């Protein structure tokens, strides 16, 4: 078995590579810039730019399975080249946002939905099995608060009481490992969440407790927040985030036990994630 892992600079993919290597499963680390990768010793690297179909064939050559990031631009082309290469199973890192009623109009969800549909169509045509992992809020999103916390101000939040289901990236990687290595798990869609539904304020309180450092925040209007991120976040994405936060303001997020069902252990808590990343929050 050979697994092509795309997006190998990402936290989930790099963790998955280590797990595959430890298990003695041959893996290939794919990235737009493979020279920047630091995979486990003995793991080959290959150029696999999901925005450049010309890189697909060489990356897929000899691969039985693929761990794929959701890049919508050439999802159909990737599915076609995977079929031609004889790939048997593709695991897509999708998003729970595809389950929202407005997924097709939501720019965050739409790319994941497009990738899911391309793989599902290929699977229905008998090309390969397709498995979709749909995590909710990544706990790593909290790293966006690092600089403001170091400055002593804390994040500016338009909806501080919005709930999320922060999931540890290692739990996502372990779920991916499970579906890649256990044939009976192939061909389904899995909603992955952390074990707790927490507001932003509650997440900050856990950060303060675990790190022993203050974790304040300020409250801003949605318009003020949009202005503050305009330089690096497209307006459509900012509007989508604000809409999501408003919809979950004061409304706990349902959590699943899917991580435990796939991996055999409960999903890691947000406090565990903070403990694992405490160094990032140090001054």
Q: In whole numbers, what is the pLDDT of the chain averaged over residues? A: 96
User: Above pLDDT 70, what percent of the chain?
Assistant: 100
The confidence band for 87, taking pLDDT boundaries of 50, 70 and 90, is: very high
Q: What is the pLDDT of residues 193-207, one digit of tens each?
A: 999 999 999 999 999
Q: What is the pLDDT of residues 227-281, one digit of tens each?
A: 999 999 999 999 999 999 999 999 999 999 999 999 999 999 999 999 999 999 9
Q: What is the pLDDT of residues 142-191, one digit of tens each?
A: 999 999 999 899 999 999 999 999 999 999 999 999 999 999 999 999 99
Instruction: Determine the pLDDT at residue 42.
Output: 85
Instruction: Give the domains, in start order, of the chain with CATH numbers.
Output: 2-135 (3.40.50.720), 136-168+194-254+268-283 (3.40.50.720)
Instruction: Determine the pLDDT at residue 72.
Output: 86
Q: What is the pLDDT of residues 96-131, one digit of tens each?
A: 999 998 899 988 899 999 999 999 999 999 999 999
Strand partners, 31: 47
pTM of the full predicted structure?
0.95
- Name the one residue in this structure whose structure tokens are 């709930």: 163
In Å, what is the CA distance from 195 to each residue of 177, 178, 192, 255? 19, 19, 10, 6
């Amino acid at each position: 078995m050979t697994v092509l892992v795309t997006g190998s600079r990402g936290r989930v993919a790099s963790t998955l590579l280590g797990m595959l290597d430890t298990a003695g499963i041959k893996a290939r680390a794919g990235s737009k810039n493979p020279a920047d990768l630091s995979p486990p010793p003995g793991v080959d690297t290959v150029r696999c730019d999901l925005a450049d179909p010309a890189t697909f064939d060489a990356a897929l050559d000899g691969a039985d399975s693929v761990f794929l990031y959701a890049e919508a631009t050439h999802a159909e082309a990737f599915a076609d080249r995977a079929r031609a290469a004889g790939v048997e199973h593709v695991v897509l890192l999708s998003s729970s946002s595809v389950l929202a009623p407005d997924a097709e109009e939501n720019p965050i969800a739409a790319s994941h939905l497009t990738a899911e549909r391309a793989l599902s169509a290929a699977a229905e045509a008998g090309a390969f099995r397709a498995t979709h992992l749909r995590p909710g809020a990544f706990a790593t999103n909290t790293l966006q608060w690092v600089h403001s916390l170091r400055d002593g101000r804390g994040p500016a939040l338009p909806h501080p009481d919005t709930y999320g289901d922060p999931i540890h990236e290692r739990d996502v990687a372990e779920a991916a490992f499970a579906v890649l290595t256990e044939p009976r798990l192939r061909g389904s869609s899995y909603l992955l969440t952390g074990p707790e539904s927490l507001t932003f304020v509650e997440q900050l309180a856990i950060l303060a407790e675990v790190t022993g450092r203050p974790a304040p925040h300020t409250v801003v209007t949605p318009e003020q927040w949009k202005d503050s991120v305009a330089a690096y976040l497209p307006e459509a994405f900012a509007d989508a985030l604000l809409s999501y936060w408003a919809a979950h303001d004061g409304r706990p997020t349902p959590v699943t036990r899917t991580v435990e069902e796939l991996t055999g252990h409960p999903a890691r808590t947000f406090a565990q994630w903070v403990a694992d990343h405490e160094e990032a929050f140090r001054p």
